[in-house]
Amino acid sequence: MKFTLAVAALAAAAATVVPAVAQAQFAKADDAVEYRQSALFLLGNHFGRIGAVVKGDAPFNKDDVAKNAELVATLSKLPWPAFEGGQTNGKSKAKPEVFSDKAKFRDAANKMETAVAQLNTVAKGGDLASIKTAFGEAAQTCKSCHDNFRAK
């Protein structure tokens, strides 16, 4: 539990600082790619924990789901500044459209942030049926972004 709180505190602190310093922080393409991949990995990990509950592969514990939803909402804000410099390398799965159609990419990111914020709100209520619905809506935004902006 202490670890989860520490991760949440770190993610919350990073979410407030990162946008302001992102450009200076990513002087190298490798740094930008590693940062956004790390942020998205953590986001996917905590989203996947909720997904396991939604699919019935893990027991429903409303407190655990709420904690993971809160982390997902916080983490959803982190990766985007690392895309703003247009930096990429051979390790990135970002399609060229991420950088050539920034408005469409940012719109997809905003939709995801909105959907996971809704999931976070719903998860606090503890109703599994509502969580399943909100999770499905958030998952669709993830899929849409992956389909349009992530190379296979």
Q: Which two tokens stand for residue 49?
A: 């924990």
Residues of the chain above pLDDT 90, percent: 76
113 vs 76: CA distance, rounded Å: 6
Domain ranges in the chain are 2-149
Q: What pLDDT score was predicted for residue 85? A: 87
Superfamily of structural domain 2-149: Cytochrome c/b562 (1.20.120.10)
Torsion of CA 85, 89, 94, 97, to 10 degrees: 60
Per residue in 8-41, pLDDT tens?
555 555 555 555 444 557 889 999 999 999 999 9
